[in-house]
Amino acid sequence: MLKQRFVIDTSALTDSTVHEREGFSTLEEGVSGILEIIASARLYLGISCMIPYPTVYKEITEYCRNNGCGEEVIIMIDTWLVKKTPDRYEVKLPAKIFYDYVEFMRSRINKSMSVAEESIWQASKQCLIINLKEIEPENIEMEVNRNVMGNIINKFRNKYRNTLRYGILDSAPDIDVLLLAKELDAAVVSADHGIQKWAEHLGVRYVDAVSFPRMLKEYLRHVHPTVISPDSNDME
């Protein structure tokens, strides 16, 4: 029962909430600490953690290198995560998934349009408040950008991004994680809401990235209690 397979999303290793929950203070500590737990689960329990190649593998390794992780972390990724390319031609998905996804995307686009319209109204009102007669004609554009548009555009971008991207699959790595899990009948490990939502639609098991390290440590504690302590990150 313990010999399970998991497909690892980038967020399963890099999410800051996961690191904080496990008591790690830096990205390098967090990634290497989680990989140590995965290593013990593989050696003592036969649990395999897979990673889609090359999409998610490239995403994780580039993220780690660009954020100060040493080459030792990359070696651990290569050693303890099994790289596999999903079979994009043979994995069968029901047509209902595409229907649901189109409907969901339509709703997100409509909500994003409302965000855009709200920002336009705010910008228009703010421009009316400014007394343009007191500003030199050649300086009007600069004043509007500085006093009105800059702040509104920043707020719009954040709100638009959150509204549009919430619950959607917006990258090739996201899709590969689900395809590989479907192909292998494995569980997905992720902190991404979009992956969680569509894993449920596909009937794929989902494990929240925050609870994944503790779940593995709980397995280890019952099968090999001398390997890991449930109250510590230290492993023998």
Same structural domain, 102 and 140: yes
233 pLDDT exceeds 80?
no
6, 47 contact by CB (below 8 A): yes
Mean pLDDT of the chain: 86
CATH of the domain at 207: 3.40.50.1010
Cα distance between residue 133 and residue 203, in whole Å: 63
Same structural domain, 64 and 155: no
pTM: 0.76
Query: In the structure, what pLDDT confidence band is assigned to residue 234 with cuts at 50, 70 and 90?
Result: low
Question: Structurally, how many domains does the chain consist of?
Answer: 2
165 pLDDT exceeds 70?
no
133 pLDDT exceeds 60?
no
Give domain status of residue 201, yes or no: yes
The number of beta carbons lying within 10 Å of the beta carbon of residue 31 is: 25
- What is the extent of the structural domain holding 126? 95-165
| Domain end point (choices 116, 141, 165) | 165
How distant, in Å, are the alpha carbons of 113, 130, 149, 153, 159 from that of 119? 10, 17, 10, 8, 10
Cα distance between residue 228 and residue 217, in whole Å: 7
Give domain status of residue 233, yes or no: no
168-223 tens-digit pLDDT: 777 899 999 999 999 999 999 999 988 999 999 899 999 999 999 999 999 999 88
Q: What are the DSSP calls for 91-157, one per residue?
A: ----HHHHHHHHHHHHHHHHHHHHHHHHHHHHHHHHHHHS-GGGS-GGGHHHHHIIIIIHHHHHHHH
59-108 tens-digit pLDDT: 999 999 999 999 999 999 999 999 999 999 999 888 888 788 778 778 87
- Percent of the chain exceeding pLDDT 90 equals 54
Structure tokens at 208: 């929240």
Give domain status of residue 156, yes or no: yes
DSSP 8-state code for residue 159: H
Same structural domain, 73 and 43: yes
Report strand pairing: 206-208 vs 48-52. unpaired
Same structural domain, 46 and 15: yes
Give domain status of residue 234, yes or no: no
Cis peptide bond N-terminal to 54, omega within 30: yes
Structure tokens at 20: 């904080």
